[in-house]
Structure 1
């Protein structure tokens, strides 16, 4: 990792912390249903997880790869399935279906793929593809909404844009990570994009709490 990427990595962690703090301050704004508090809790968990991932090894001995593959990343996908399908789109059954499909991908990994990887590529690919479906559905909902002209006040607009840049944008990087890492320049560019898009995503999450409100379903 270059010095530039180290700066980006630490910036991403503190941007997560900023988003978590702002979510605590602003989550009750326009929050008639009250479920945005769970987004705040999610951001706090993600920030704490990244702090553990960055500096936890200095305090305790733990398997960093398993921590991310079996705890952090599953929480990310399952939370967004819930936020998109069950809450924003109003399709709780879709949330359960996608959650089951994603969790079943772990069985496939255990039986057919090696688990000794930085990121479990198959699980991440399945998780992102399912999330991509929800992202497209959310864009369709926003485009066809009567409040399309007031998109800047729509909380999910910022969240959807951030998720698109980070999760969908980095899907090829983690799916083909074992191939990309063999090509140093491509790996450098894509890993840098991964870090920068993460920073942008958490900034957009912060903006969603300050400027946005939940549009009506």
Structure 2
């Protein structure tokens, strides 16, 4: 990695930590609401990234498998729950989308080795499903009678962060093998991946500070 990428990578990690810390600070305000699970999620992400960084120093494990089979699926399924089951109040939609995503691991077992950096099929499908939910959330917010107070809506910041990171980096991970052959393009998109990650977790922090959604 270049010096810039290395620095951005460090900032992204600590942005995850800051986001988890901020959520814990505001936990007492939301401990009786479903938003408490967002706190658990952010802590989970920071701990997972910490294991990804230093876990190999304490125990032997397959880092690629850890992310592909555990960390990334948890991310997608959590957001499916947050959008479908909570924001849209469609629990059945959550189970359907989660099932479709999990079923996509079956063909991946034949297409990829467990040491592959990213299972592009699963990630692409996971992001496409998430993109549909993101668009639905934007539509819901635009048609909300309280649209003028969008800055008080916690989902506004979460949706914006998810758009920048997951949707914005979809082409990068989908066509990673092809993009890797063109180093300049790879470096530009990888830089965007890191910067958008930092922005997403900062927006998650802001959602706790400014967001006042009551449900």
Alignment TM-score, normalising by the size of structure 1: 0.95
Say if 1:8 and 1:196, in contact at 8 Å, map to a contact too: yes
- Would the aligned equivalents of 1:162 and 1:204 in 2 still touch at CA under 8 Å? yes
1:28 positional shift: 4.2
What TM-score results when the alignment is normalised by the length of structure 2? 0.96
List runs of 5+ in structure 1 lacking aligned partners: none
Q: Which residue of 1 aligns with 2:123?
A: 124
After superposition, what is the alpha-carbon deviation per residue over 1:94-152, rounded to whole angstroms, capped at 9, x for unaligned? 100000000000002113x1234200000000000000010000000000001110000
Q: Where do 5+ consecutive residues of structure 2 fail to align?
A: none
Q: Structure 1 residue 3: deviation in Å?
A: 1.6
> Contact 1:154 / 1:215 at 8 angstroms: preserved in 2?
no
Given that 1:28 and 1:36 are in contact with CA atoms closer than 8 Å, whether structure 2 keeps it comes out as: no
Kindly indicate whether the alpha-carbon contact (under 8 Å) linking 1:162 and 1:201 is maintained by their aligned counterparts in 2. yes
Aligned-partner Cα distance in 2 for 1:94–1:108? 23
Write the mapping of 1:60-209 to structure 2, written as runs, cut at 5 A.
60-111=59-110, 113-115=111-113, 116-209=115-208
Aligned partners of 1:4, 1:36: CA distance in 2, in Å? 35
The total of aligned residue pairs comes to: 214
Shift in alpha-carbon separation, 1:196–1:21, aligned structure 2, 3 A? same
RMSD over aligned Cα atoms = 1.3
